[in-house]
Structures are given as C-alpha cells and as structure tokens.
C-alpha cells in the first residue's frame, strides 16, 4: 500500500472513530458533566499515546513551537470537546454528527481564504455531495430537534465545528517540523492539565461514580481519541487538510449505523441513498488530477 493510500485509510479511520465516540458520549452525557467527560477522555488518550514514548523522547521543541502546539491542543481537545459535549447533552448524536460533518466545507473555505489551498471543484463537489447524503439520512432526526430552546447547544456545536476546521490547518507547520506522535502527546497532555483546572473551577469531579457499562463507554471514548488523533495528524502530514477532513463525513454514517443496529431498525432506502451519496462525495473529494490538488505556497 502506498503512503498516500495509508494516509487516506488513516483519515477514514479517524472519521469512523469520531462517529463511534459520539454515540458513546451520548450514552453517558446525562451521567457525567461535559468537563469531567472531556478530562477523562483525553486523560485516557494521553496515557495511551505517551506510554510508548516515555523511554525514547528525543525530539526537543523550541519554546515558541511548544506554546503554539499547547495552544492548539487546548483549542482542539479542551474547547472543542467542551462545546461538543455540551451540544451532545442536549441534541441527538446523529444531529451533532450531521453538523460536525460540515468540517470538510468549513476547512476548504478557510484553506482557500487563507491561501493554504487552491480552489478545487472536485473537492467542493465531494463535500457538498457528502453533506447532502448525511442531510438525507438525518433529516427526520434534525427536524425533530427543538429550536429556540436549544439555541446555545446549536451555537456550541457550530463553534466546535469551526475550531476543528481551523486547527486542522494550523497544525500543518508543526507537523512538518516534528513527528506526529510527539505533537499528539504534547497537545493532549497540555489539554488534560487545562481540563483538570476547568473541572476544579466548576466543582466537577475528576473521577465520577459510574457503572461498569458507563466506564466501558468512557474508556472507549478515550481509546478512540488516542487512535483517531494520531491517525488525523499522520494523515495531515501527507494530505491537504480539506482532503483529510472530507472523511469526517463518515462520522454520522458510523453513528447512525451503530444507533440503527442497537435499536434493530431495518435497512431503509434513506440509509441506502445516504451511503451512496456520502461514499460518492468522499470519492470525489479524494480523486482528482494532481495539478488541481497542489497547495499554494504559504
């Protein structure tokens, strides 16, 4: 398998893990505060990532780069997840996945606006087709969600989406200077310290009293975060940010599949059509002539 194909596979794994983690988050969101859940999620993820690195840490960061990576970690892991957990506690997981799946469009717009990528009809078409497929699948769920009473939840969800898109672009210079594993460990550990402080300030417990099933969901969320974040950064070192983020369209598909299987819902034409549109959109977004996919100089 070529390095490009491996990067595509890593991006796809990230998208699927995001969807699975959303379902698990929804399952425990009524029993754990957003602050505590975010802390546990990345504390587990940080331990998993750091364990193989402790004996062979050999890459020194400059103070400026360390602070920049730490800031991105706080944005992506602390602020993004706090906002997303707040939304998941008030909106269905499938609806949150639908809005979060607009990451490819937001990332592409930001990349073009900042001169990091050239405009690409193929990627724009792919993103629109994929989001259309997700909208087709989740339209009944989204329509059932309250309006004004959930205004803050919608604002939090949109804010999390924008932060995710911006961070995917801002990581690129540091991924060109440092290995992705080191970036992952630094960003996640700093965010854990930040989240611990948030929990203490808000009076949220760091170790809540949960059942075995609930802890299983929390551990899964942490493991998926570790694996998914490493795969995301690894893919970002080899592909354009908008191309990598196009695979976030797989998140709602994964979330809905899990929810359908757990509720024993039958396969419907809506699900079939959504699958076709999402997979077609991802294909459009990742297959184009090399000349159209080169990034402009930053």
Q: Which of 49, 39, 80 is nearest to 224 (CA)?
A: 49
pLDDT of residue 298: 40
Half-sphere exposure for 53 (CA within 13 Å, toward CB): 17
pLDDT at 75 over 80: yes
pLDDT at 206 over 70: yes
CB 257 within 8 A of CB 268: no
DSSP state of 239: S
- Residue 218: both structure tokens together: 């929390």
CB 228 within 8 A of CB 13: yes
pLDDT at 230 over 70: yes
pLDDT of residue 19: 86
Q: How confident is the model at residue 68 (pLDDT cuts 50, 70, 90)?
A: very high
For residues 224 and 221, give the distance between their C-alpha atoms in angstroms, rounded to a whole number.
5
What is the residue whose two structure tokens read 């493991």? Answer: 223
DSSP state of 75: I
Q: Which of 162, 39, 185, 191 is nearest to 99 (CA)?
A: 162
Domain range annotation of the chain: 3-120+150-265
Q: How confident is the model at residue 140 (pLDDT cuts 50, 70, 90)?
A: low
Q: How confident is the model at residue 280 (pLDDT cuts 50, 70, 90)?
A: confident
Using a 10 angstrom Cβ sphere, with 0-12 exposed, 13-18 middle and 19 or more buried, the burial of residue 260 is middle
Residue bearing the bigger pLDDT, 235 or 97: 235
CB 202 within 8 A of CB 33: yes
pLDDT of residue 45: 92
Per-residue pLDDT reduced to its tens digit, 149-171: 578 888 898 899 899 889 989 99
CB 116 within 8 A of CB 298: yes
pLDDT of residue 287: 64
């Amino acid at each position: 398998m070529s390095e490009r194909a491996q990067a595509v596979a890593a991006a796809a794994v990230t998208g699927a893990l995001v969807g699975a983690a959303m379902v698990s988050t929804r399952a425990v969101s009524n029993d754990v505060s957003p602050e505590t859940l975010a802390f546990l999620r990345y504390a587990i993820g940080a331990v998993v990532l750091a364990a193989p690195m402790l004996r062979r840490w050999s890459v020194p960061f400059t103070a400026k780069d360390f602070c920049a990576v730490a800031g991105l970690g706080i944005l992506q892991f602390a602020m993004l997840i706090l906002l997303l957990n707040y939304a998941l506690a008030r909106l269905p997981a499938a609806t949150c996945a639908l809005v979060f799946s607009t990451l490819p469009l937001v990332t592409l717009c930001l990349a073009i606006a900042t001169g990091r990528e050239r405009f690409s009809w193929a990627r724009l078409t792919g993103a629109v087709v994929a989001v259309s497929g997700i909208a087709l699948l989740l339209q009944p769920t989204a329509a059932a969600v309250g309006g004004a009473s959930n205004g803050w939840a919608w604002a939090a969800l949109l804010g999390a989406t924008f932060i995710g898109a911006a961070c995917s672009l801002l990581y690129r210079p540091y991924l060109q200077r440092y290995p992705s594993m080191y970036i992952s460990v630094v960003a996640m550990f700093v965010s854990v310290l930040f989240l611990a402080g948030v929990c203490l300030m808000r009076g949220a417990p760091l170790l809540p009293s949960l059942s075995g099933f609930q802890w299983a969901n929390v551990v899964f969320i942490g493991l998926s975060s570790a694996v998914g974040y490493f795969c995301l950064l690894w893919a970002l070192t080899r592909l354009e940010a908008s191309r990598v983020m196009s695979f976030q369209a797989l998140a709602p598909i994964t979330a809905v599949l899990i929810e359908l299987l757990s509720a024993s819902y039958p396969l419907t034409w809506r699900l079939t059509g959504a699958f076709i549109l999402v997979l077609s959109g991802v294909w459009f977004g990742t297959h184009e002539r090399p000349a159209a996919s080169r990034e402009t100089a930053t």
